[in-house]
Amino acid sequence: MCKPTPVPSLNASHSGIPTRLEKEAQATKEKTYSLKTLPDSVPRKHPVKLPPNTSQENFDLAITELRKSLVNNDAVEINDKPLVDGWYMEHPNTHDAFHIADQEKLVCSAVAYPSSVEEVQEIVRWANRYLIPIYPISMGRNLGYGGAAPRVPGSVVVDLGREMNKVLRINGENASCMVEPGVSYFKLYEEVQKSGFPLWIDVPDVGGGSVLGNALDRGVGYTPYGDHFANHCGMEIVLPDGSLLRTGMGSLPGPNGDDNPTWESFQHSFGPSIDGLFTQSNFGIVTKMGFWLMPATEHQSYMITFPEEEQFGQIVDAIRPLALKRVLGNIPQLRHAIQELAVTGRPRTDWYSGSGPLPRDVVRDSISKLPVGNISWIFYGTQYGDATSITSQLSLIKKEFAKIAGSKFYLPSDLPPDHYIHSRVEVCSGIPSIRELSWLNWKPNAAHLFFSPITPTNSSDATKIHHLITTLHEKWGFDLFPTLCIAGREIHYITNIVYDRSDAEEKARARKMMKEMIDAAAQEGFGEYRTHLLFADQVAGTYDWGGGALMRFHEVIKDVLDPNGILAPGRNGIWPRGLS
């Protein structure tokens, strides 16, 4: 195999890797490619996928006009080349890199790259004239939920990030920033460092996503500012008719034509709070978004292990009061022992060569050889504040978990330098990382799909969903990778379904399992907080209290704002009139 090309750097591309992570990214790429059996690309089975109800002639006409209205010569690309999945740092904007169906199922017809808010407005007006659906992405790294793919094949993807990727301001006093869509966590981190302000950003598990895009999809991170939407402040939005809106205090003009001085300070304006309408929806294209940054502080990450599978409920019940009383500093993660194997970056075949899910005794034997020994569950937490308060918080936490037989408490210094905890230390103190990608060595051509239901934080509900998911993973033959983000009142139970993209049968099984899990969870009253494009209709359909009152509300708004149904039709199950 020839050596993979260098990973693009952040200096060269908005979606690149910062210098400090170049070596690690290159090694990750080499490892990923060494396990790949699929060719980089295969000839397309179908030519360009045209937008629905659009003839080739009209499409050509429309594209010619679009090209004329955008300033850059290369502002429109037709999606007619072989599809390349690439890898995390070099992901496509033409389709879902982690295709869970056929690679060509969710393709766009073309990609447009606006370079200003005015050009975004131009594109929206153009889409209304030609009745061509458009699909905005910021960075397009929403992998596991559909990546950069549009819900309606043949839509024109509006890739905002390539040209609109500035950190517009960082306010050290107010501890806030304002960003454009193409600002990744990697970039925001570098810019905050350069500013010299003692501030942290909050990052999800991997740092290549768009700060704005992740918040719009209501993603989470792991510092005390981990709820990304809750910590946004102010938006600028191009509506589906091409008009421009600012929310929050941004709706009140600042003096001398400046932005309002409190835009990034107060989330609301006067009257209804509408920002939430633009998350997980298709009501507008967000072109700017403000975020609060956390004042830097001392911090201490730690890990607690538990020996028995059956202690799951007890662990959840121990977390609840600590989280409710805000003794826990962040939203901690509870992971199963099998993840401890996966984050080593070693392939599944290193542990087991049989088919079907890894048997429990194999997990036990394998994990026993690692520094944590024979365990079933691992809790990763971090405490914040000055040294004295961290010490007193930790003594409360240790006391509670010590009640669970056989639990063991570790500080990062207790574990070898290559242990995953050191990456947790970074992520939980706002330093974007790529270590989490090591999971993708589990299988050749690996991709993943998330199943992410929300449950109340108590042992009986958590055990119910855990049992349901475990049973269905066994039935459909998948290893179970549960990561639970546990708050005081609710758990994001995130299951990472890892599959081989070259294996159509395995992908079909993953889809069937997903569908069955969504329905089975809904019957118990559990719904997903977010899902892959292909399952959005099903998930939306489970939120049907009052004869579907919520979806009726969404559809009324959709039809008023977007009567031609051009903006991301079908996203989150919201279809315009006549297109459901």
Active site residues: 145, 529-530
Closest to ligand ADP by CB, 135 vs 312, is 135
Cα separation, 429 vs 528, whole angstroms? 27
What sign does the CA torsion over 209, 210, 213, 214 have?
positive
Tokens standing for residue 494: 């995130």
Q: Nearer Cβ to ligand ADP, position 217 or 340?
A: 217
> Tokens 């170049």, residue?
22
Q: Which helix (H) or strand (E) holds 117?
A: helix 117-130
The nearest distance, CB 241 to ligand ADP, in angstroms, is: 15
Number of alpha helices (DSSP H) and beta strands (DSSP E) in the chain: 14, 20
Helix, strand, or coil (residue 413): helix
Nearest approach, Cβ of 574 to ligand ADP (angstroms)?
A: 11
Using CB under 6 A as the binding rule, whether residue 94 contacts ligand ADP is answered as no
The footprint of ligand ADP on residues 216-235 (CB under 6 A) is 216-217
Q: How far is the CB of 235 from ligand ADP (least distance, A)?
A: 9
Rule CB under 6 A: choose which of 54, 165, 210, 314 binds ligand ADP: 210
240 binds ligand ADP (CB under 6 A): no
Per-residue binding string, ligand ADP, 509-548, x by CB under 6 A, is ----------------------------------------
Non-local (6+) Cβ contacts of 462 within 8 A are 312, 313, 316, 455, 456, 484, 491, 493
Residue (160 or 378) nearer to ligand ADP, CB: 160
- By beta-carbon proximity to ligand ADP, the closer residue of 219 and 224 is 219
Q: Is 385 exposed, middle or buried (0-12, 13-18, 19+ CB in 10 A)?
A: middle
Give the total of residues touching ligand ADP (CB under 6 A).
21
Buried/exposed code over 23-40 (b: 16+ C-beta within 10 A; e: otherwise):
eebbebbebbeebbeeee
Does 569 interact with ligand ADP (rule: CB under 6 A)? Answer: no
Closest approach of ligand ADP to the CB of residue 93, in Å:
9
Q: Judged by CB, which is closer to ligand ADP: 139, or 517?
A: 139
CB atoms within 10 A of CB 379: 24
**571 touches ligand ADP (CB under 6 A):** yes
* Residue 485 near residue 494, CB atoms below 8 Å: yes
**Residue whose C-beta lies closest to ligand ADP:** 213
- Here the tokens at position 288 are 């700017």
Q: Distance between CA 229 and CA 219 in Å, rounded?
A: 8
C-beta closer to ligand ADP: residue 150 or 357: 150
Site string for ligand ADP, 134-173 (x = CB under 6 A): --xxxxxxx-----x-----------x-------------
- Angle between helix 312-324 and 387-401 (nearest 10): 150
Handedness of CA 507, 82, 54, 157 (dihedral sign): positive
CB of 139 to ligand ADP, least distance (A): 3
Q: How many other CB atoms are there within 10 angstroms of residue 314's CB atom?
A: 18
Residue 28 phi, psi (nearest 5): -65, -40
Question: For residue 564, what are its two tokens?
Answer: 């031609």
d(CA 434, CA 424): 11
Binding flag, residue 213, ligand ADP (CB under 6 A): yes
Report the nearest approach of ligand ADP to the CB of residue 277 (Å).
Answer: 11
Distance, first Cα to last Cα, the chain: 46
- Segment interacting with ligand ADP, rule: CB under 6 A, options 208-216, 227-235, 309-317, 340-348: 208-216
Judged by CB under 6 A, the stretch of 81-89, 132-140, 367-375, 376-384 that binds ligand ADP is: 132-140
Half-sphere exposure for 99 (CA within 13 Å, toward CB): 21
Smaller CB separation from ligand ADP, 17 or 465: 17
Give me the phi and psi of 205, to 5 degrees please. -60, -40
- Strand ranges of the sheet holding 176-179, from the earlier edge strand across to the other edge: 167-171, 176-179, 285-292, 232-238, 244-246
| Length reported for the chain | 580
Binding letters toward ligand ADP, positions 177-196, x by CB under 6 A:
----x---------------
Minimum CB distance to ligand ADP smaller for 283 or for 384 = 283
Q: From 63-71, 95-103, 205-213, 259-267, give the range in contact with ligand ADP by CB under 6 A.
A: 205-213
Judged by beta carbon, residue 162 or residue 299, the one nearer ligand ADP is 162
Q: Cα–Cα distance between 302 and 132 in angstroms, integer? A: 51
How many other CB atoms sit within 10 Å of the CB of residue 214? Answer: 23
Which residues lie below 8 Å from residue 566, measured CB to CB, with a gap of 6+?
124, 127, 128, 131, 132, 133, 134, 240
CB of 401 to ligand ADP, least distance (A): 34
Q: State which of positions 340-379 bind ligand ADP (CB under 6 A).
A: none
CA distances (Å), 332 to each of 428, 478, 521, in order?
A: 9, 25, 23
**Residue 336 interacting with ligand ADP (CB under 6 A):** no
Q: Does 209 bind ligand ADP (CB under 6 A)?
A: yes
- Cβ of residue 329: shortest distance to ligand ADP, in angstroms? 25
State the amino acid at position 1 in one-letter form: M
Question: Which of 109, 214, 260, 531 lies at the binding interface for ligand ADP (CB under 6 A)?
Answer: 214
Among 106, 108, 156, 286, binds ligand ADP (CB under 6 A): 286
Which residues, in sequence order, are bridge partners of residue 493?
484
Q: How far is the CB of 214 from ligand ADP (least distance, A)?
A: 4
Which region among 73-81, 207-215, 329-337, 514-522 touches ligand ADP (by CB under 6 A)? Answer: 207-215
Q: Which stretch binds ligand ADP (CB under 6 A): 64-72, 211-219, 355-363, 378-386?
A: 211-219
Minimum CB–partner distance for residue 205 and ligand ADP (Å): 12
Residue 77 bridge partners (DSSP):
111
Least Å from the CB of residue 149 to ligand ADP: 8
Give the residue with the Cβ less far from ligand ADP, 286 or 540. Answer: 286
Q: Which is nearer to ligand ADP, 285 or 561 (CB)?
A: 285
Q: Tell me which residues touch ligand ADP (CB under 6 A).
A: 136-142, 148, 160, 181, 209-210, 212-214, 216-217, 285-286, 568, 571
